[in-house]
Amino acid sequence: MIKADKTFIIKRCDLQALFDVVIARGYMPVGPTVREGVIVYDELRSVQDLPEGWTEDQDAGTYRLKRRDDSALFGFNNGPHSWKKYLFPPRSKLWEGKKTDDGGFTLKEAEDTQKPFAFIGVRSCDLHAIQVQDKVFMNEHHPDPLYAGRRDQALIIVVNCGQAAKTCFCTSMNTGPRAESGYDLSLTEILEGDDHYFVAEPGSAKGFSLLAEIPHTEAGGENITAAEKCTKRAVEQMGRKIDISDIKELLYRNYGNERWDELEKRCLACGNCTMACPTCFCSKVEDVTDLTGDHAERWREWDSCFTMDFSYIHGGSARKTVRSRYRQWLTHKLAAWLDQFGASGCVGCGRCITWCPVGIDLTEEVRLIRDSENQKDIANG
Ligand code: SF4
Ligand code: SF4
């Protein structure tokens, strides 16, 4: 239910003011823009950089950009990028060291010189994904300084979904399609005839102060109804669903299920699913030196549990087969994560389904594992 006492209207023609205020306050605005046939996240300078009039068709292993018949600015769903590329960059320097003239070695920790980010257009599932990564990178025992610094400073502007892709299943994971909290400002885009505006709800002091500098008016009952209809439409269009009741026990019980053998035949172990997933957090550390040997650097890079090296321990890899790697990924995401972090590692964004080159769909895999148990029950009377 949208609360009328803190709901406002920003007209489409005034949205540039949001960018101007964010930039004037020293943020780097990042958000959706069209590049090379997909909607990616990149630096935005103005409203003109948004994917106006674009949408996409998504399905297992399929993504096609296409034109809309209106001028919606956020009329699409998730693309291959997620906000983790800003908070937990694909590659980041940890430290560098130099030999000194007296034969010693100086070491300097890398400093983050990045301006604070303003994330424009965060979807509800991705807001939950950020909260999942917070548990990994901002836990009280081992906080990650790069992630924590960027996260603390980031401004989060949500855009509630008014449509869902065929690969979306946030309703099954209780993560969307409407954001309830955890943002600075939330927007719901409304297009009705010639009217084009955003229903705006500040969610923090920062959000209220931002809104104060953008032309706005109080929302009326009809605007709130329009925003609620928008959410309802996204719920009705939800392309996939997954039954997560007793999911942890289901997957733990099915360590030996034959379905993993089928996945061994299909999965390419390319790791696309882990790169596209907004919650996957694995990384490796690489040391590099220059040719003189006087200068060394240590870098952190995204890694994937689908690589052979990922589980390498003395004497070989613990997960030699693709079967065991897919099972590890799915079981960690949907089951072990609950034990480890008290939350699911999946927010139902659908990226791993769209960006899997062979169209492996985790919702289908869980359903088939569940069905195989039910069939066994029937066979055993
Ligand atoms: S596992 Fe797939 S659907 Fe779930 S959060 Fe990751 S990419 Fe999205
Ligand atoms: S499930 Fe798909 S995307 Fe993931 S590693 Fe296998 S082939 Fe690649």
For residue 273, the model assigns a pLDDT of: 98
Identify whether residues 364 and 222 lie together within a single domain.
Answer: no
Q: Which of 237, 270, 294 is the last residue of a domain?
A: 237
**194 and 295 co-located in one domain:** no
> Does some domain include residue 354?
yes
Domain final position from 215, 237, 259: 237
Instruction: Assess if residue 204 is contained within a domain.
Output: yes
Q: Looking at residue 112, what is its pLDDT?
A: 97
pLDDT of residue 367: 98
136 and 228 part of one domain:
yes
Predicted pLDDT of residue 371: 96
Q: Do 178 and 273 sit in the same domain of this protein?
A: no
Ligand 2 pocket residues where CB is under 6 Å: 267-273, 306, 356-358, 360
Write the pLDDT tens digit of every residue in 133-187. 999 999 989 999 999 999 999 999 999 999 999 999 999 999 999 999 999 999 9
Q: Give the per-residue pLDDT at 375.
A: 79
Least distant ligand from the CA of 353: 1
Judgement on whether residues 258 and 226 belong to the same structural domain of the protein: no
Atom of ligand 2 nearest to the CA of 276: 3
Do 230 and 99 fall within a single domain?
yes
Closest ligand 1 atom to the C-alpha of 173? 4
pTM to 2 decimals? 0.96
Residues 57 and 139 both lie in one domain: yes
The number of the ligand nearest the C-alpha atom of 280 reads 1
Residue 274 lies in a domain: yes
Check the CA dihedral 75-77-79-82 and report its sign.
positive
- 122 contacts 183 by C-beta, under 8 angstroms: yes
Closest ligand to Cα 269? 2
**Residue 118 and residue 224 in one domain:** yes
Say how many Å lie between the CA of residue 350 and the centre of ligand 2.
13
My answer on whether 11 and 84 are in the same domain is yes
CA distance 350 to 354: 6
The pLDDT assigned to 4 comes to 56
Quote the number of domains for the chain: 2
Nearest CA to ligand 1 atom 4: 346
Query: To 5 degrees, how large is the angle CA 244–CA 361–CA 79?
Result: 100
pLDDT the model gives residue 46? 97
Instruction: Answer yes or no: do 230 and 87 share one domain.
Output: yes
State whether 215 and 281 are in the same domain.
Answer: no
Q: What is the pLDDT of residue 136?
A: 96
User: For residue 242, is it within any domain?
Assistant: no
Same domain, 252 and 372: yes
Q: Which residues of the chain have pLDDT under 70?
A: 1-4, 381
Pocket of ligand 1, beta carbon within 6 A: 276-279, 333, 346-352, 362
By most ligand atoms within 8 Å of CB, the mutation choice from 265, 332, 360, 363 for ligand 2 is: 360
Residues 6+ positions from 218 with CB-CB distance below 8 Å: 7, 8, 9
Distance 270 CA to ligand 2 centre (A): 5
> Last residue of some domain: 217, 237, 257?
237
- Residue of minimum CA distance from atom 8 in ligand 1: 349
The Å distance, Cα 274 to ligand 2 centre, comes to 8
Residue 134 included in any domain: yes
Q: What pLDDT, on a 0 to 100 scale, did the predictor assign at position 3?
A: 63
Structural domain boundaries enclosing 38: 4-237
